[in-house]
Amino acid sequence: MDAQRARSILDEELVRGRDAIAAATSFEELEAAKSSVLGRRSAFSEVQRALGSFEHEDRKVLGAAANDVRNALRSAVQERASELEAADEERLLDADRVDMTLPGRRPRSGSMHPLAIVERRIVEVFTRMGYRVVEGPQIEDDWHNFEALNIPPDHPARTMKDSLYVDVQGLVLRTETSAAQIRTMEAQAPPVYIVSPGRVYRHETPDATHLPVFHQVECLAVDEGITFADLKGTLEAFSRAMFGGDRRVRLNPDYFPFVEPGAQVAVSCFICDGAGCRTCGNGWIELLGAGMVHPKVLENCGYDSERYTGFAFGLGIERVAMLQYAVPDMRMFGDGDVRFLEQFEGVA
Ligand code: FA5
């Protein structure tokens, strides 16, 4: 390479380098442009390496020219880097910009489950009448779930068909909230006025009006001089508070080992108003079992059955909720379908 050639390379590389640096649109491209004009394998470096072979005068002039070219290109790189940095920052700011005129994003909030709403309402009707709320365990022992409730070992309610046993000797998923009656009476002296809501379990095939896991509210009143009239009056007060005046209530004699006499209480169907339809069958929806507490149950809990009498009933929360919200199939409560559940938003 002669001095003249070196000169023209320096001139060309200055122009080419400036163009390449200006054309870089990212830091990667800028780095590539820089190494192509100033890197070890660039034409510029070749000129530098050739300097040593030139005459003294040429070396001086070309050395100075090479320095100028390198300085010019380096400052071009720096300038372009600051431009790219500024552009980057601008982009970030743009992306982060908050449009104050946009409407806010409302966070999705859940709502009370219809069964929770109904349970709360039922319990409220009773607490307003002076009842206390108690809760019992869902896993019960034989005594509280059966024996103390006057359900002897050979009673059909004990067979594997109806009950779900826990794999521990003598323990069962409670089949009714009535077990809470026993726990309450064992723990306190009369008078007793309690409601006890909760989940119960039975070996049952689900259909429109039955579930294997459902909810009940137990009601128990034990005091001196309580009669069947008190039970009927309480049931009527409850039905009026829950369903209004236009639903009819029916009491039929029924058998439960822990009451005497016992009754099955039904409310006229909300769909057919008592005529009979697919949901109710015969026009009535059975809501609860009720009766006068069996003297043996009182004695089992250490109460004097000569002095004290009482009534009890246990009602199904799902059945009440069906009546209240005209739900045709009980299984809908457990499906977890948001389209169903969100209809209850704002109800409670
Ligand atoms: C009982 O469970 C008694 N412990 C009620 C009772 C309490 C009687 C106190 C006397 C004194 P029964 O099995 O009928 O009774 O159930 C009571 C209510 O629970 C029924 O009327 C119904 O509303 C509801 N129920 C019963 N089985 C189911 C089921 N499989 N799915 C949904 N609800 C049910």
Looking at residue 188, what is its pLDDT?
97
pLDDT band at 160 (very low <50, low <70, confident <90, very high): low
Q: Report whether 136 contacts 149 (CB < 8 A).
A: no
**Distance from the CA of 206 to the center of ligand 1, in angstroms?**
15
What is the percent of the chain where pLDDT is above 70?
A: 99
Q: State the closest ligand 1 atom to the C-alpha of 313, by its place in the atom list counted from 1.
A: 9
Compare 343 and 280 and report the one with higher pLDDT.
Answer: 343
Instruction: Say whether pLDDT at 173 is over 70.
Output: yes
- Read off the amino acid at residue 303: Y
Compare 159 and 191 and report the one with higher pLDDT.
Answer: 191
**Distance from the CA of 340 to the center of ligand 1, in angstroms?**
25
Q: State the closest ligand 1 atom to the C-alpha of 319, by its place in the atom list counted from 1.
A: 23
The radius of gyration of the chain's CA atoms, rounded to the nearest angstrom, is: 43
The whole-angstrom separation of Cα 169 and Cα 316 is 28
pLDDT digits (tens, 9 = 90+) for 176-234: 999 999 999 999 999 999 999 999 999 989 999 899 999 999 999 999 999 999 999 99
pLDDT digits (tens, 9 = 90+) for 66-96: 999 999 999 999 999 999 999 999 999 988 8
Task: Produce one character per residue of 260-296: b if its CB has 16 or more CB atoms within 10 Å, e if not.
Answer: eebbbbbbbbbbbebeeeebbeebbbbbbbbbbbbbe
**Helix H segments across 212-252?**
228-243
**What average pLDDT does this structure show over 261-276?**
86
Residue from 146, 176, 333 to probe ligand 1 pocket by mutation (most atoms less than 8 Å from CB): 176
Residues 6+ away with beta carbon under 8 Å from 154 = none
User: 256 CB less than 6 Å from ligand 1?
Assistant: yes
The closest of 145, 239, 133, 288 to 196, measured between CA atoms, is 133
Q: Find the helix packing angle between 56-96 and 3-23, rounded to 10°.
A: 0
Instruction: Say whether pLDDT at 279 is over 80.
Output: no
**Distance from the CA of 274 to the center of ligand 1, in angstroms?**
20
Q: What is the pTM of this model?
A: 0.71
Mean pLDDT lowest among 6-20, 139-153, 238-252: 238-252
Residue from 252, 319, 331 to probe ligand 1 pocket by mutation (most atoms less than 8 Å from CB): 319
| Residue 325 CB burial class (10 angstroms; 0-12, 13-18, ≥19) | middle
Compare 62 and 273 and report the one with higher pLDDT.
Answer: 62
Looking at residue 155, what is its pLDDT?
83
pLDDT band at 309 (very low <50, low <70, confident <90, very high): very high
